[in-house]
A and B are shown apart, each in its own frame.
Chain A
Amino acid sequence: MTDKIFNGMDKKNSENSISNNIEQAIKSGQVKMRPRWHFVLKTVLAISGGLFVLLTILYLASLIIFISRQSGIWFAPAFGIGGIYIFLFHLPWLLVFLAVIFIVVLELLASHYPLAYRQPLLYSALVIIVLSIFGGYGLERTSLHGRLADYAEKGQLPLANQIYRSFNHQKFNDIHRGEISSTTDNGIIIKNRNDEYLNIIFTPRTSFPGQGDFILGDFVVIMGERNNQDIEALGASVVK
C-alpha cells in the first residue's frame, strides 16, 4: 500500500521535502489512520493467542506427568542412576518436543512486550518453563486426565481416544507399577493395569527408597527386568 502512495507522491512532488509529501498525502486522503479498534483487536488476538499457547503448554506438561505416573517412570529416579536412565529413556519425548515448540512460540510472543524484552531472554524463558512445570504438575493433580483417560477407554473422546489409550497401555520391561495383591516368602505379588499378576522377588540387591513396609492394597513401583511373570527387583517403592 505504501509503495503505491510513494510512487504517486514521487511523481507529483519529487522536488518537495519528505515532510511536505507526507502532509500532502494526508490532506488529500491518500493515507488514513487505522482506527483504535484495529489495535485493540490486535492486542486482544495476541493475548488470546498467548493464552491458548500457555494452556496448550500446561495441558502437554500435565499429560507428560500423568503418563509418566501411570507407567511408573515418574518414580524411577528415586532408584538412583539406573532409575534416572529409565526415566529419561521412557519419557514421552514426542510430547516433550511438542511442549518445547509451544514454549518457544510463547517466548517469541512474549518477547514483543517490554516486560520480557527489557530482561535477558533467559529470565522470561525460565519463568515460562517454571510456570509450565508447576502449572502442569498442578493440573495433573486434578482429575482431568483420569476422566479423559476413562472416556478414551470407552471410546467417548473424539480425536484424543488414541493418545490416551496408547499411552495408558504402554508396557515397559524394566519398570512396573501395580497394586499389592498378596505377599510371598521372598517378595510380593502385584496386579498391574492390564490385570496381570507379577511375582516380585526381593534380593539383597533390592533398594527400598522411602518406606520399606509393604501393605496389601498399596500401589508400588518396581524397577527390574521382567522374565515372564517374575521380576527380580532392583528397586521397590510405595507410591501414593
Chain B
Amino acid sequence: MQSDDEEIAVMVQGGETESFGILAERYEAKISRYARRFLFGAEDTKDLVQEIFIKAFINIKSFDSGRSFSSWIYRIAHNVFINAIKKNTREKIQFFDFDLIFPHPIARETADGDLNKKELKNLLDSGLSRLDVKYREVLVLFYIEEKNYKETAEILEIPQATVGVRLRRGREKLKEIMLKDKKYLSR
C-alpha cells in the first residue's frame, strides 16, 4: 500500500532522508508543469524546480503533518517562482491588492459561467502568457493543477473568496484577450 505524502514527510523528518526521493518523484512532474505554465517562456525552470525540492528538504522539519504536504510544497514553489519573476522579468507584481482587503461572497466552484473546464484549458494554452501574474497563477492552480478553492487559497495564502474573485476576473480577462485576437471569434 502506498503511504500518503504526509506520512512520508514525517518519516523524512524522523531521519529516513532517502524517503524524500519518493516525494520528489511524486511531485517532479506536477511542479515542473506548474513552472512551465506559470513562468511562461522561462528557460531555467529545471533549475527552479530543483531549487524548490532542495528548499523543501532543507525546511522539511517546519512541515506540520496535520496539514497537506501538497499545499506546503506548492507554497514553496509559489515563493520561488515569484522571486524568479521579480529577478528575471519585467512583469509587474502588485504588492498591494484591493481584492484581499474587503470580504467577497464565496462563489461556487462549479460556477464557470459560460465556459466549462475543458474549453478553459484550451484557452489557457493560448492566452495564459498575456495575463497578469495574479490571475495567471490562480488559473494555473485551479484548471491545470486541479487544486480546489481551499487548496489554492492555502498555497497563495489568501482568502478562499479572493480565489473566486481572481478566477472570475482571470476568465474574463482571458476572454477579452481572445476576443481581441479574433482567434476566439473565428472558432
Do the two chains belong together in a single complex? yes
Contact B50 A22 (CB under 8 A): yes
**Chain B CB within 8 A of A111 CB:** yes
Given B21, B50, B100, B162, which contacts A6 in the complex, CB threshold below 8 Å?
A: B50
Contact A34 B58 (CB under 8 A): yes
A114 CA to B58 CA in the complex, in Å? 23
In the complex, which residue of chain A has the Cβ closest to the Cβ of B49? A18
Interface positions, chain B 92-122, Cβ under 8 Å from A, are 100-104
Given B12, B24, B102, B153, which contacts A19 in the complex, CB threshold below 8 Å?
A: B24
**Chain A CB within 8 A of B130 CB:** no
A112 CA to B20 CA in the complex, in Å? 26
Interface positions, chain A 2-26, Cβ under 8 Å from B, are 2, 5-6, 9-10, 17-19, 21-23, 25-26
Contact B160 A118 (CB under 8 A): yes
Contacts of A23 in B (CB 8 A): 18, 20-21, 24
**Chain A CB within 8 A of B65 CB:** no
A53 CA to B47 CA in the complex, in Å? 38
**Chain A CB within 8 A of B53 CB:** yes
Given A10, A33, A118, which contacts B153 in the complex, CB threshold below 8 Å?
A: A118
**Chain B CB within 8 A of A31 CB:** yes
Given A33, A120, A123, which contacts B57 in the complex, CB threshold below 8 Å?
A: A33
Assuming A23-B21, A120-B103, A121-B101, is B59 touching A2 (CB within 8 A)?
no
Contacts of A26 in B (CB 8 A): 17-18, 20-21, 57
Contact A33 B60 (CB under 8 A): yes
Interface positions, chain B 1-51, Cβ under 8 Å from A, are 12-13, 17-18, 20-21, 24-25, 28, 32, 46-47, 49-51
Give 25 CB contacts A-B under 8 Å: A6-B50, A6-B54, A18-B46, A18-B50, A19-B24, A22-B53, A26-B18, A26-B21, A26-B57, A27-B18, A31-B54, A33-B13, A33-B57, A33-B58, A33-B61, A35-B61, A38-B61, A39-B59, A114-B154, A117-B159, A118-B160, A120-B101, A120-B104, A120-B161, A122-B101
- A residues bordering B, Cβ < 8 Å? 2, 5-6, 9-10, 17-19, 21-23, 25-27, 31-36, 38-39, 111-112, 114, 117-123, 125
